[in-house]
């Protein structure tokens, strides 16, 4: 029996880390970065927080800023063209999960023969090759993409958010600087924060959970659970922002070495068809999926409740599990998570797509890792 464990080769974590990005590249002998980011990062000048230290390190970074939320295969193809048009030796993903996933997917598609499509790499394929090394700098405390072996790309022909996995998507290094998250608005702070909590919880209850991933998942829950409401209400609270950012990265390592499960499996089709932000669709699903799954892995959910600080160590599993469920419902109330209807999802369109979405969720493989595995009807 063998086990394997993956994480970036270098993880730099802490306030001001982005100022050392040239140093990080230099340690790997890299000097010609293409920074992959989104339009807001450019219009708000936030991208300068990465570009300025790169220039100060004597580098002349290029910028690809055409990424979109829930990145699409067509944007990746445009990114690969930009990457190949320049003499770059690495990609720097700077932003939330969308720009980081774009950089990772560009590396994968860029290593493939001409004519290849992102869908060729959809799970269960393994996207192990990358054309260029990827360094990630997250600006949201959420996806953990900076530390995972995944990228999530939308197939525009089929309206499908595809999970793509493999070492080609694993960043060489991650520069994790919580100071970049002070500007994240409350709604996105809440959505991305619940995303990271969902990563840790799903990694911990997954059928693919293991000792190593458990340690990261538990540490992540200890950091995220007591700080999520604080960052939502007090955006400039540095201690809470730092805890959330570290927690998000640790949760990324956890699910990268275990898995996500039913929440993520169901969340992707909702994102693809209704453009609900990823963390928000996770939040909408988390209490109901936990209620559905609770008794199939009660001791695990109870341990998660204790790590999150909502149950005590002397409490039995039944009581701890019930408290976890209540906490997830309270969290959605406190973070003003809307129902799908209140978000503006059209009920008729929703009903019409239910079978398609159920099939897409099950085909993604993630629900099979859930403690309780539903059929399409459920
Ligand atoms: P995002 O990257 O789409 O960003 C959401 C919004 O927040 C954007 O408008 C962006 O400009 C803004 N933003 C980002 N940082 C900001 C900052 N510091 N200040 C102000 N605004 C800021 O959202 P996300 O939730 O970070 O990423 C979601 C994507 O990540 C989805 O496509 C999801 O499927 C994917 N994802 C990937 C993995 C993985 O392992 N690869 C894991 C989970 C989710």
Tell whether ligand 1 has an atom less than 6 A from the beta carbon of residue 150. yes
Tell whether ligand 1 has an atom less than 6 A from the beta carbon of residue 193. no
Q: Are residues 229 and 91 in the same domain?
A: no
pLDDT of residue 177: 98
Going by alpha carbons, the residue nearest to atom 34 of ligand 1 is 152
Q: Is residue 2 part of a domain?
A: no
Q: Is residue 228 part of a domain?
A: yes
Number of domains in the chain: 2
Q: Are residues 29 and 107 in the same domain?
A: yes
Query: Domain limits at 88?
Result: 10-180
Q: Are residues 229 and 171 in the same domain?
A: no
CATH number for the domain including 142?
A: 3.40.50.1970
CA torsion angle 44 48 51 53 (round to 10): -160
Tell whether ligand 1 has an atom less than 6 A from the beta carbon of residue 95. yes
* DSSP class of 1: -
Q: Are residues 135 and 37 in the same domain?
A: yes
**Cα dist from 237 to 178, 222, 232, 241, whole Å:** 11, 17, 10, 6
Q: Is residue 210 part of a domain?
A: yes
Cβ atoms < 10 Å from Cβ of 235: 16
Distance 188 CA to ligand 1 centre (A): 8
Tell whether ligand 1 has an atom less than 6 A from the beta carbon of residue 188. yes
Tell whether ligand 1 has an atom less than 6 A from the beta carbon of residue 98. yes
Q: Are residues 209 and 350 in the same domain?
A: yes
pLDDT of residue 159: 86
Mean pLDDT by 10 residues, the chain (378 residues): 93 98 98 98 98 98 96 98 97 98 98 96 94 98 97 93 95 98 98 98 98 98 98 98 98 97 95 93 97 98 98 97 98 97 95 94 93 95
pLDDT of residue 141: 98
Mutate to test the pocket of ligand 1, among 141, 248, 278 (most ligand atoms within 8 A of CB): 278
Q: Are residues 90 and 142 in the same domain?
A: yes
Tell me: cis bond preceding 51? Omega within 30 of 0 counts.
no
CATH number for the domain including 283?
A: 1.20.1090.10
Which has the closest alpha carbon to 205: 223, 217, 194?
Answer: 217
pLDDT of residue 106: 98
Tell whether ligand 1 has an atom less than 6 A from the beta carbon of residue 143. yes
- 182-201 in b/e burial notation, b at 16+ Cβ within 10 A? eebeebbbbbbbbbbbbbbb
Last residue of a domain, one of 152, 180, 208: 180
pLDDT of residue 1: 79
Q: Return the ligand 1 atom nearest residue 98 CA.
A: 2
Distance 260 CA to ligand 1 centre (A): 17
Which has the closest alpha carbon to 12: 97, 107, 137?
Answer: 137
Helix axes 73-85 and 97-110, enclosed angle (nearest 10): 60
Going by alpha carbons, the residue nearest to atom 31 of ligand 1 is 70
Tell whether ligand 1 has an atom less than 6 A from the beta carbon of residue 97. yes
Q: Is residue 326 part of a domain?
A: yes
Q: Are residues 127 and 236 in the same domain?
A: no
Q: Is residue 377 part of a domain?
A: no
Q: Are residues 167 and 102 in the same domain?
A: yes
Last residue of a domain, one of 180, 199, 229: 180
Last residue of a domain, one of 180, 208, 240: 180
State the pTM of this model.
0.97
Going by alpha carbons, the residue nearest to atom 9 of ligand 1 is 40
Can you read off the two tokens belonging to residue 11? 């993880």
Tell whether ligand 1 has an atom less than 6 A from the beta carbon of residue 65. no
The verdict on ipTM greater than 0.95 is yes
Q: Are residues 136 and 263 in the same domain?
A: no
């Amino acid at each position: 029996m063998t086990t394997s464990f993956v994480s970036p080769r270098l993880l730099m974590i802490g306030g001001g880390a982005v100022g050392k990005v040239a140093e990080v590249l230099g340690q790997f002998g890299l000097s010609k970065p293409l920074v992959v980011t989104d339009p807001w990062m450019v219009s708000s000048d936030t991208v300068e927080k990465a570009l300025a230290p790169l220039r100060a390190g004597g580098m002349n970074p290029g910028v690809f800023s055409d990424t979109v939320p829930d990145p699409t295969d067509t944007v990746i193809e445009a990114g690969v063209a930009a990457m190949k048009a320049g003499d770059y030796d690495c990609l720097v993903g700077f932003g939330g999960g969308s720009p980081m996933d774009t950089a990772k997917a560009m590396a994968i598609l860029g290593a493939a023969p001409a004519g290849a499509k992102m869908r060729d790499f959809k799970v269960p394929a393994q996207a192990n090759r990358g054309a260029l090394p990827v360094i990630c700098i997250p600006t949201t405390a959420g996806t953990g993409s900076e530390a995972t072996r995944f990228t999530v790309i939308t197939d525009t022909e089929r309206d499908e958010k595809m999970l793509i996995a493999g070492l080609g998507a694993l960043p060489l290094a991650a520069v994790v600087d919580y100071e970049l998250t002070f500007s994240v608005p409350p709604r996105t702070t809440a959505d991305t924060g619940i995303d990271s909590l969902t990563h840790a919880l799903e990694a911990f209850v997954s059928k693919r959970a293991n000792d190593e991933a458990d340690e990261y998942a538990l540490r992540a829950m200890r950091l995220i659970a007591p700080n999520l409401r604080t960052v939502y209400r007090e955006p400039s609270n540095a201690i809470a922002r730092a805890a959330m950012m570290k927690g998000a990265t640790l949760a990324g390592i956890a699910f990268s070495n275990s898995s996500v499960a039913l929440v993520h499996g169901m969340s992707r089709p909702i994102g693809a068809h209704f453009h609900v932000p990823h963390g928000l669709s996770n939040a909408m699903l988390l209490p109901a999926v936990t209620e559905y799954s609770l008794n199939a892995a009660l001791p695990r959910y109870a341990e998660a409740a204790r790590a999150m600080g909502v149950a005590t160590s002397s409490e039995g599993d039944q009581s701890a599990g019930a408290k976890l469920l209540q906490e997830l419902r309270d969290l959605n109330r406190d973070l003003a998570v809307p129902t799908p209807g209140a978000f503006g999802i059209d009920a008729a369109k929703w009903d019409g797509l239910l079978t398609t979405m159920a099939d897409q969720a099950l085909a993604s493989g993630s629900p099979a890792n859930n403690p309780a595995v539903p059929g399409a009807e459920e």
